[in-house]
């Protein structure tokens, strides 16, 4: 799988904490080598259906831009009752046909999608 960085994330990467940088590169290397199989953290589409007006807008945006998010294990992984591992920090990315575009790192909750300007690559 081909990995790209969105323009804004790429420009901010050197200013991020080293542990965040390492988590981003670990995800990128894993996906580039193994695809999405055997990732430790929860990895899911950001197109989460909702009945609220704000939720529906978020769903449409996530669907339009093929947005996903991956729990990168920072500050630590927490095992959920269903056996999945989540963390406060997530890596937002676009899952396109032949590549993955890394977009943004954010805390969750709250769950907010990256702004449109962060989606450029």
- Show the beta-strand stretches assigned E in the chain: 2-5, 43-45, 67-71, 78-79, 85-86, 89-95, 99-107
List Cβ neighbours of 88 (8 Å cut-off, separation of 6 or more).
Answer: 74, 75, 107, 108
| pTM assigned to the model | 0.95
Per DSSP (E only), the strands in 21-121 are: 43-45, 67-71, 78-79, 85-86, 89-95, 99-107
Domains of the chain: 2-119 (3.30.2310.20)
Residues 20-64 have pLDDT tens digits of 999 999 999 999 999 999 999 999 999 998 999 999 999 999 999
Q: Is 27 left (phi over 0), alpha (psi -120 to 50) or beta?
A: alpha
């Amino acid at each position: 799988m081909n990995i790209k960085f969105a323009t804004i994330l790429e420009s901010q990467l050197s200013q991020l904490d080293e542990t965040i940088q390492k988590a981003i590169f670990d995800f990128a290397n894993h996906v580039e080598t193994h695809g999405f199989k055997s990732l430790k953290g929860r990895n899911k589409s950001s197109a989460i259906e909702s009945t609220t007006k704000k939720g529906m807008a978020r769903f449409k945006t996530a669907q339009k831009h093929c947005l996903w998010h991956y729990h990168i294990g920072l500050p630590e992984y927490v095992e959920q009752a269903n056996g999945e591992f989540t963390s406060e920090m997530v890596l937002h990315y676009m899952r396109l046909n032949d590549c993955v575009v890394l977009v943004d790192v954010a805390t969750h909750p709250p769950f907010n999608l990256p702004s449109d300007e962060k989606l450029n690559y």
